[in-house]
Structure 1
Amino acid sequence: MPHFPHADAGRMIRTRRIALGYTSQEALATAAASSTRMVADAERGIPVGSKTKVRLERALLWEHGSIDEMYAGGKPTEQHVEQPAPLVEEPTEDDLTALAEQIRRRLDLIPDVYSDYGPDAARAAVQRLSEEMAALQRRIADASVPKNPHNNSPRHAS
């Protein structure tokens, strides 16, 4: 098995991807406006270009330069992004603002996806965002449904 020079950095990238809920390399590639191949290379410890590093850092919520720091044997620096609490009750304005900011950042990457990878990749990125927004809308709706005090389950209209 070949030894890659930045295998430790690759493991940190993979661990962070999973921790942030990107269940596949393809999901991270879409979020980062990169290719699945570049994500796979980064996770194996194969050095990636500066554009890919910046995009991965943004999607992984790391400060700029974190991947270079890992290549040098250090640790990445997390961005200080306020993460909304899980939706247990009706979402607050702060929850919705934080979610809107995350969506805005991902939408800002769509033109880069189009210019770098073409219309099919851009359509796939938009589709993924649409699916995530629909899931978020369901979570908000579920959290907003009044509870029936007799059985603690959501009340359904007949």
Structure 2
Amino acid sequence: MKESLMPDLDRIDKNILRHLQSDGRLTNAEIAKAVNVSPATCHRRTQALFEAGHILRVMGHVNPASVARGTLVMVGVVLDRSTPESFAAFEAAVSDMKELLDCHLVAGDFDYLLKIRVSDMNDFNTMHNKMLIALPGVRQIRTFFVLKEIKENAPLAF
């Protein structure tokens, strides 16, 4: 997928994207009415947006507290070495962690920034002791418990 996709999008495409970002449950007919096109045109354009890589997926946003994952933890990880092999080993090890929402290779004080959801502090402590410190190549872990979520998964502005 190419990085500069924006020039291919016209006003109608952008409106379709905005509506899907705000509510992925909208029907094709509802989106068509909102963007002032026929349902057939809307369906064709939406399919084209998927095929071109503008829409990656449509999914529901589950309330974390309702499924016992109300505690959000950000974790900064520093590896022993900055080599392709150490990065690959770390990334492979975290890829199956069910508590891990996001893992980003970053520039700055950490090599990786992890976003983790757990039920509570004790749950995180167990995870830390059994999983995080056992990850390959980890030299340092810095943990930040989120006290209040101000803005999360905001729609992209374009």
TM-score normalised by length of structure 1: 0.23
**Which has more strand, going by share of residues?**
2
**Which has more helix, going by share of residues?**
1
